[in-house]
């Protein structure tokens, strides 16, 4: 009896399909900068502690994605030497964020002894700085100057987002909170008087006050005289204020204009992950840096607060979230799109092998894995993926949006005809343009002839697309 039962189990086990280990096809990492100087004094700078925080975080992701022994090793990613076409990295044009990204990338791909050239004359050249690896860091304009601005939307460039965030300051919720916390903030005068006026000690400056005291708690040997209860309240009030400035749940899914930075980020994430899918795995890893405000905005539009209240608080320095493309299909070939899933993980603060990112469900659905096709369709509902979208949602009419409006207006006006003169408007427009051009050229010729001027080529500047709808316009 036992023999027949064992035989039956053996046959059943042989008949059962073998499930291979999960394959990680690619990933996208979004990170906050490291520890920095306080915002209240302006000209914020990354501290040595901050540099160490992001470097350690990058080192963790080396063990997670680059190391060949990791269960989450990205399939086919180069190790230990970086291959430029496999990775992209970006950060806003801001010193704290750019320097943080550089430190992080040093951890992801540390110096390697393989950085050696053997020349034709028989000599050997080793790379400087013990084989330091250079990863090109692109500059985006998303949240430019964010670490020098005390207000979340101060530099977003989106007109309607600025109006939406400003309206929070006149809302009943804000006014009630400001009134109920007035005495609390005034009671902190002894520790704030060096940096804030009496009038500025209020809920309106909740985050700036919290940030100032937080830096003091980290760096000053004589810590601010604030009780644990007061500190918890300061942090809670800052979280409440900043989340409401970054995201408004009452706005429609297609609008979410207050969360403009999160919408732009959603488009950039979609673009990065799609590079992996469309290249069939040749592109491996996208890395981007930003401020806590962009975390807030993206968390809001992706429904993350439904998964945890942790997504409504200001994330700590060097916090990261990752989106991984995974499949259970075995083999060496890149899987079909229907077999690819997306998984989201988040870690508050510097990640490490002893404190790893935790998996959370997206879109409020309760599933750890989202089918790639579903992720694309749901993200497109809230993402910005073009200049036109950004201009339409923001209501901007200058810069890139001005040229877009002009083009659209011209296209609209030339679509009709004026039959009274027997000449269509497009033809009339061409004739008029030619006459005007002839007049201008004649005047220019006279101008240069009389004035003795010469023509020199000038490099063009102005807004341009970075990725998935972020407008790049150097503000510095």
DSSP states of 116-173 as a string?
EEE-TTS-EEEPHHHHPPP--EEEE-TTTTTTT-SSTTTT---HHHHHHHHHHTTSHH
Cα separations in angstroms, 97 against 148, 205, 427, 470: 11, 23, 52, 17
Q: Give span(s): CATH 3.40.50.1240, the chain.
A: 20-110+127-148+251-390
Q: CA dist 221 to 36, 53, 217, 228, Å?
A: 17, 20, 8, 17
- Residue 416, pLDDT > 90, answer no
The dihedral built from the CA positions of residue 246, 252, 254 and 257, taken in this order, carries a sign that is negative
Average of per-residue pLDDT across 241-248: 94
The two three-digit tokens of residue 404, written as one number:
């877009």
φ/ψ of residue 93, rounded to 5: -75, 75
User: What percentage of the chain has pLDDT greater than the value 90?
Assistant: 66
Q: Which residues of 236-261 are buried (b: 16+ CB within 10 A; e: fewer)?
A: ebbbbbbbbbbbbeeeeeeebbbbbb
Contact (Cβ atoms closer than 8 angstroms) between residue 253 and residue 9: no
C-alpha to C-alpha distance for 97 and 290, rounded to whole angstroms: 7
Residue among 85, 92, 38 at smallest CA distance from 289 = 92
pTM of the shown model: 0.80
Nearest to 236 by CA among 180, 196, 289: 180
CA angle, residues 271, 132, 143, in degrees to nearest 5: 35
Reported confidence tier of residue 425, pLDDT bands at 50, 70, 90: very low
Which of the pair, 457 or 437, is modelled with greater confidence?
437
The yes or no reply on domain 20-110+127-148+251-390 and CATH 3.40.50.1240 is: yes
10-14, 108-112, 374-378, 382-386: the lowest-pLDDT one: 10-14
Which one, of 288, 293, 296, 348, lies nearest residue 323 by Cα? 288
β-strands 87-92, 137-140 pairing:
parallel
3 state DSSP class of 175: helix
- What mean pLDDT is predicted for residues 9-27? 62
- Please provide the distance, in angstroms rounded to a whole number, between the alpha carbons at the two ends of the chain: 83
Sign of CA dihedral 6, 11, 12, 18: positive
Q: Which of 33-47, 48-62, 429-443 has the lowest mean pLDDT?
A: 429-443
- pLDDT tens digits, 349-399: 999 999 999 999 999 989 999 999 999 999 999 999 998 999 999 999 988
The H or E element that residue 469 is part of is none
Residue pair 96/65 in contact (Cβ under 8 Å)? The answer is: no
> Does the structure show a pLDDT above 50 at 473?
no
Q: Which two tokens stand for residue 352?
A: 């490490």
Cis peptide before 80 (omega within 30 of 0): yes
Please determine, for residue 4, whether its predicted confidence score (pLDDT) is greater than 70.
Answer: no
- At 21, the pLDDT band (50, 70, 90 cuts) reads confident
Q: Could you tell me which residues come within 8 angstroms of residue 196 by beta carbon, excluding any fewer than 6 positions away?
A: 40, 205, 209, 212
Distance CA 45, CA 39 (A): 9
DSSP state of 310: G
With a cut of 80, say whether residue 327 has pLDDT above it: yes
Confidence band for 417, pLDDT divided at 50, 70 and 90? very low
H or E element in which residue 342 lies: strand 341-347
């Amino acid at each position: 009896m036992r023999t027949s039962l064992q035989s039956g189990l053996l046959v059943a086990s042989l008949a059962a399909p073998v499930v291979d280990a999960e394959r990680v096809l690619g990933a996208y990492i979004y990170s906050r900068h490291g520890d920095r100087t306080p915002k209240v004094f302006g000209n914020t700078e990354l501290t040595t502690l901050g540099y160490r925080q992001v470097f350690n975080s990058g080192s963790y992701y080396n063990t997670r994605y680059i190391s060949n022994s990791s269960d989450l090793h990205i399939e086919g990613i180069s190790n230990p030497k970086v291959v430029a076409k496999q990775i992209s990295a970006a950060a806003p044009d801001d010193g704290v964020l750019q320097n943080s990204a550089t430190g992080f990338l040093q951890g992801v791909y540390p110096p390697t002894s393989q950085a050696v050239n053997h020349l034709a004359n028989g000599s050997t050249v080793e790379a400087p700085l013990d084989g330091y690896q250079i990863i090109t860091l692109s500059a985006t304009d998303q949240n430019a100057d964010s670490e020098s601005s005390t207000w979340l939307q101060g530099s977003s460039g989106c007109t309607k987002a600025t109006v939406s965030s400003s309206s929070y300051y006149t809302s009943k919720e804000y006014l009630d909170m400001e009134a109920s916390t007035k005495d609390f903030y005034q009671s902190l005068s002894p520790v704030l008087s060096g940096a804030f006026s009496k009038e500025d000690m209020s809920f309106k400056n909740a985050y700036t006050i919290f940030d100032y005291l937080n830096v003091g708690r980290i760096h000053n040997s004589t810590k601010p005289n604030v009780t644990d209860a007061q500190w918890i309240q300061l942090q809670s009030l800052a979280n409440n204020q900043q989340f409401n400035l970054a995201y408004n749940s009452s706005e429609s899914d297609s609008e979410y204009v207050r969360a403009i930075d999160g919408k732009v980020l959603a488009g950039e994430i979609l673009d990065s992950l799609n590079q992996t899918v469309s290249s069939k795995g040749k592109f491996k890893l996208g890395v981007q840096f930003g401020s806590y405000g962009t975390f807030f905005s993206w968390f809001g539009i992706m429904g993350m607060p439904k998964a945890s209240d942790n997504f409504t608080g200001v994330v700590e320095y060097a916090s990261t979230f990752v989106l991984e493309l995974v499949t259970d299909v075995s083999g060496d070939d890149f899987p079909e799109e229907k077999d690819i899933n997306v998984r989201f993980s988040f870690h508050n603060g510097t990640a490490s092998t002893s404190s790893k990112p935790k998996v959370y469900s997206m879109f409020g659905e309760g599933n750890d894995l989202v089918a790639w096709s579903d992720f694309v369709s749901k993200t497109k509902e809230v993402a910005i993926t073009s200049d036109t979208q950004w201009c339409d949602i923001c209501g901007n009419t200058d810069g890139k949006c001005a040229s877009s409006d002009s083009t659209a207006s011209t296209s609209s006006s030339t679509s009709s005809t004026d039959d009274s003169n027997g000449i269509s408007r497009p033809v009339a427009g061409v004739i008029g343009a030619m006459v005007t051009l002839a007049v201008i050229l004649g005047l220019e010729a006279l101008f240069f002839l009389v004035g003795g001027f010469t023509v020199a080529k000038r490099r063009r500047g102005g807004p341009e697309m970075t990725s998935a709808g972020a407008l790049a316009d150097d503000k510095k």
